[in-house]
Structure 1
Amino acid sequence: MPLLTKIKKKADDSAAAGPEQPAIPTAAATTPIRQRRRPAFIALGVALIIVCALGAFWLVDRLSTTTQVVVAAADVPEGQRLTAEDLTVTDVTVPSGVATIPGSDLDTLVGQRSVGQLEKGTLLAPSDVSTDPFPAAGTAVVGVRVSAGQIPTNDVDPGDPIQIVGTPREGDDPPTGDAPVITGTVQAISAPSTDGVVVVDVLVSSDQSATLAALSATGRISVVLVPEEE
């Protein structure tokens, strides 16, 4: 082929191919950074998971474990002989160290006496009941008749400490000396009669029982509610 023809053909081929495009640079492939594993952190995480799981299991076990125990079904004054109506059983979670009476022992408690004042709903402990006679040696229970005005209108309940104070006859001058005072504890209170008279059973020491009985017979007494000794 003649040289001129070759040159013309090459020029025609270049024009047909269009302008030469610049090369597009490509991003170099990045090598991923390999993270170092720390065995100590992994072991700590596993340990925390185990501790949390054990704690949850212990809590669920404590909340779901209950014991049937004896509780007071009514308010019971000190020294009262217990009846089946005074007691019941319930399922509770008993904290460690708290003394209770198993529900299976309920029948054995009927006929025993309360050692102290029992409030309704109280969990009974073995020390709350006794087969010992009541009143105990050195004490006595005296029934005292009182009318309205001789006893506080506020609630006077079994277990409350009181004083029985001798008062003069109506219309007499106040006594010049100290009035006789008997200290005791309310054991029981009867329902008011039709004329408003109630009988208060008072636990006193044996050496004061005769004096209290004599004061009660005169009808010239007043019941004073006093604070409990700390």
Structure 2
Amino acid sequence: MSTIKFIYFDAANTLIHKPELWKKINEVLTKYGHTVNAAELKKKHKFTSEKIKFPDNTSKDFYNIFNKELLSALGVNSNEEILNDIYNACTYLPWQKFDDVTFLKEIELPIGIISNFNSSLKEKINNIISVPFSEFIISEDVTVAKPDPGIFEFAINKIGLPPEEILFIGDSIFLDIEPAKKIGMKAYLIDRDNVYPTYQDRISSLEELKHLI
């Protein structure tokens, strides 16, 4: 019998995403004569996300740094023009929920969110996902961000449960899974695109939560 009494989730690219992102990046790359496989683009974007930490409030300067690193990983030389085009094409794309997020309605445990994001996240989530979250632990609000264990400790103290009774689901090994495990939480990587096929504590769909709780 499972001892899990509460589930925390990361938000961006765990519960919500920008599904048009890959198409828009590829359109810009094609414009400049580059052909990139969609799966490879997703993988390199993931690896770049592990390398460069997103701030609570992103800026054009940040995205130019991020996209320059991404293009380098893809073997594409960047310049101001291509970076500006990627920024303009991708920055204001709408967030949407992943299809498997509907499974959360079947979970009978209380759920919450731990996210590196700004204070607008709660409204975004409530507008996109019709499932009640009892806790929102947002880095801008608590002034500490993943992978700092302090944000996980704050989340644990907020609900008053021992860490071993809390499950955390996130899409980043470095930002989510490793720090959550270090303070005693149970943690699983959500890896829908099979980027880390050999990682042990991994699920490919939120529907697999039924086997963990």
Q: Which has the higher helix share?
A: 2
Q: Which has the higher strand share?
A: 1
The normalised TM-score by structure 2 is: 0.25
Higher relative contact order (CA 8 A, sep 6+): 2
Q: Which has the larger radius of gyration?
A: 1
The normalised TM-score by structure 1 is: 0.24
